[in-house]
């Protein structure tokens, strides 16, 4: 189970610090899906704020945004 505290994730007894505050995180078999707070990104460009990281915080992949509009960003996981 993971715990979120601003830009930190606690997992398996360890803590990983990431570059932005976390809106949501979800653990999957391949890693940890993270949606960062898009408000902390540059306002004049697309916020590439949906990442998958491994348990040491290394980025496995970054999702492309659906458009190139500067207001485009991910906000949550669909429930």
38: phi then psi, degrees, rounded to nearest 5: -65, -20
What separation in angstroms does the CA of 23 have from each of 6, 7, 36?
8, 9, 5
What is the Cα–Cα distance from 41 to 17, expressed in whole angstroms? 17
| Sequence spans of domains, the chain | 2-62
Contacts of 6 (CB under 8 A, 6+ apart): 21, 22
Residue pLDDT tens, the chain, 79 long: 899 999 999 988 899 999 999 999 999 999 999 999 999 998 888 889 999 999 889 999 999 988 878 778 999 998 6
């Amino acid at each position: 189970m993971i715990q979120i505290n601003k830009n930190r994730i606690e997992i398996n007894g360890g803590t990983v610090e990431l570059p932005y505050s976390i809106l949501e995180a979800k653990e999957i078999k391949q890693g940890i899906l993270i949606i960062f707070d898009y408000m902390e990104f540059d306002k004049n460009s697309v916020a590439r704020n949906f990442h998958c990281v491994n348990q040491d915080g290394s980025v496995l992949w970054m999702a492309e945004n659906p458009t190139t509009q500067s207001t485009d960003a991910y906000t949550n996981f669909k429930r």
